[in-house]
């Protein structure tokens, strides 16, 4: 009798352990955004050395939002937020290892962009009577800081707490043709109310142009969910800066009213993207700077609201910058494989880059991006996630 009782207890114990393990497995399947590593991301695939500097994978998180970064290029690797059903969804596309970023045909996935984001016409500008030349890497123009912008450098990284990542880089005088030793500090942080906050700071010892931003590629339905053409978008912008065939601003500030660039009410990305419009033809779709109209929210410009049609995930963008670049994934060609195993197919992600206007060093009517010695460059942008509906 005693032996039978022991056997019954043993069977019950094994069954209890098995049930606990099965429950845990279900929790991890639903909430894949939490843990030291992620099923699609492993720390060991990011641990390497580039240019004699250590590269790694860094996590910041709260109970309801989690982001992965690498200090190679100061990149957002993934960002998990809850959808309308409470399931954690990765809304930033990226790669599963460093090799993916090093060899990608698209160099800007998730990257911190500098020294000057966006385009400089013919890679030339004049500052205080001296002419400067930036290596061209986008047709006849310089894009995102030249051939080796901040996306190709290794940043020093520190984490003062589990919700904050601080990245630092000193760009030496005349790196990529820009004057001055520029000391840059970027602080990425997540908050309890589902915000990803980006704070940029910089100082210089010579006058120099500075326009820092981040180039995360978003799909609010989740990486690998298909195109973003049914996402609904609203911009708090009444004007935009039209461009020439090389995507350099003409200098005009043009009203969006009556054009496919009017997102003052909600429209889907794909609704008018194939319209017979010269500006859309120049960009192959949307690849334009919208001039924010000063709608204030949370002490900053409310730049945009975007809603994923399948998940209900809503992203509100707030910034201290005067403009935001909207890029609809027009040059994605399916040549790279994301961490989920899908290709970076045409228009399967979009970018929203808070910024000063493109080609500002050559456009005297645009807000200046020149930083002087003794000044401190400082700007903040915030991406807030919720499951609100369009209003």
Domain ranges of the chain: 1-30, 98-386
* Single pTM value for the model: 0.90
Strand order in the sheet with 254-255: 217-218, 350-355, 323-327, 287-292, 237-241, 254-255
Nearest to 115 by CA among 262, 221, 213: 213
With beta carbons less than 8 A apart as the criterion, state whether 198 and 110 touch: no
Summarize the confidence of residues 25-54 as an average pLDDT. Answer: 69
Tens of pLDDT, residues 225-239? 999 999 999 999 999
What 3-state class would DSSP assign to 43?
helix
The pLDDT of residue 31 is above 50: no
Determine the Cα–Cα distance for residues 69 and 98; give it in Å rounded to an integer.
11
Confidence of residue 184 (pLDDT cuts 50, 70, 90): very high
Amino acid 40: pLDDT: 84
Determine the Cα–Cα distance for residues 272 and 261; give it in Å rounded to an integer.
9
Confidence of residue 10 (pLDDT cuts 50, 70, 90): very low
The pLDDT of residue 32 is above 70: no
Amino acid 80: pLDDT: 98
Determine the Cα–Cα distance for residues 122 and 358; give it in Å rounded to an integer.
13
Confidence of residue 12 (pLDDT cuts 50, 70, 90): very low
With beta carbons less than 8 A apart as the criterion, state whether 90 and 33 touch: yes
Amino acid 13: pLDDT: 40
Nearest to 259 by CA among 278, 245, 244: 278
Tens of pLDDT, residues 299-325? 999 999 999 999 999 999 999 999 999
Supply φ then ψ for residue 311, to 5 degrees: -100, -20
What 3-state class would DSSP assign to 15?
helix
Q: CATH for 98-386, among 3.40.50.410, 1.20.1370.10, 3.40.250.10, 2.70.98.10?
A: 2.70.98.10
Amino acid 389: pLDDT: 55
215 is catalytic: yes
The catalytic position among 38, 144, 215, 302 is 215
The pLDDT of residue 245 is above 70: yes
353 is catalytic: yes
β-pair partners for 185: 168, 201
Amino acid 38: pLDDT: 76
Q: What size, in residues, is the chain?
A: 391
CA distances from 203 to 131, 172, 320, 355 (A): 21, 12, 18, 18
Confidence of residue 288 (pLDDT cuts 50, 70, 90): very high
The pLDDT of residue 390 is above 70: no
The pLDDT of residue 364 is above 50: yes
For the chain, the average pLDDT equals 91
The pLDDT of residue 23 is above 60: no
Confidence of residue 143 (pLDDT cuts 50, 70, 90): very high
Tens of pLDDT, residues 249-286? 999 999 999 999 999 999 999 999 999 999 999 999 99
Amino acid 59: pLDDT: 98
The catalytic position among 38, 302, 353, 356 is 353
Supply φ then ψ for residue 212, to 5 degrees: -95, 145
Determine the Cα–Cα distance for residues 140 and 26; give it in Å rounded to an integer.
53
The pLDDT of residue 19 is above 70: no
């Amino acid at each position: 009798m005693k032996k039978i009782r022991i056997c019954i207890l043993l069977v019950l114990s094994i069954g209890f352990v098995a049930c606990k393990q099965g429950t845990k497995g279900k929790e991890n399947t639903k909430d894949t955004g939490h843990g030291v590593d992620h099923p699609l991301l492993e720390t060991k695939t990011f641990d390497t050395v580039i240019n004699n500097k250590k590269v790694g994978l860094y996590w910041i998180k709260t109970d309801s939002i989690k982001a992965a970064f690498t200090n190679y290029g100061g990149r957002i690797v993934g960002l998990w937020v809850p959808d309308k059903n409470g399931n954690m969804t990765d809304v930033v596309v990226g790669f599963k290892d460093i090799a993916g970023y090093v060899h990608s045909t698209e160099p800007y996935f998730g990257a911190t962009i500098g020294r000057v984001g966006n385009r400089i016409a013919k890679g030339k500008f004049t500052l205080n009577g001296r002419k400067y030349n930036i290596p061209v890497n986008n047709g006849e123009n310089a894009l995102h800081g030249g051939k080796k912008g901040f996306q190709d450098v290794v940043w020093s990284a520190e984490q003062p707490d589990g919700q904050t990542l601080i990245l630092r880089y000193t760009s030496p005088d005349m790196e990529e043709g820009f004057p001055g030793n520029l000391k840059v500090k970027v602080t990425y942080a997540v908050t309890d109310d589902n915000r990803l906050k980006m704070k940029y700071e910089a100082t210089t010892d010579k006058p120099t142009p500075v326009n820092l931003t981040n180039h995360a590629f978003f799909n609010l339905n989740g990486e690998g969910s298909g195109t973003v053409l049914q996402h609904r978008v609203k911009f708090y912008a009444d004007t935009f800066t039209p461009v020439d065939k090389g995507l350099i601003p003409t200098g005009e500030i043009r009203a969006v009213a009556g054009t496919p660039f009017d997102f003052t009410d909600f429209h889907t990305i794909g609704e008018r993207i194939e319209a017979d419009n010269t500006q859309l033809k120049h960009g192959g779709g949307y690849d334009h700077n919208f001039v924010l109209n000063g709608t204030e929210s949370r002490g900053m410009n409310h730049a945009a609201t975007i809603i994923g049609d399948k998940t209900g995930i809503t992203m509100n963008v707030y910034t201290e910058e005067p403009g935001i670049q909207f890029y609809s994934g027009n040059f994605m060609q399916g040549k790279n494989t994301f961490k989920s195993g899908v290709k970076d197919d045409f228009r399967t992600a979009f970018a929203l880059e808070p910024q000063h206007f493109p080609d500002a060093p050559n456009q005297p009517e645009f807000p200046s991006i020149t930083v002087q010695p003794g000044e401190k460059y400082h700007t903040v942008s915030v991406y807030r996630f919720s499951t609100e509906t369009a209003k």
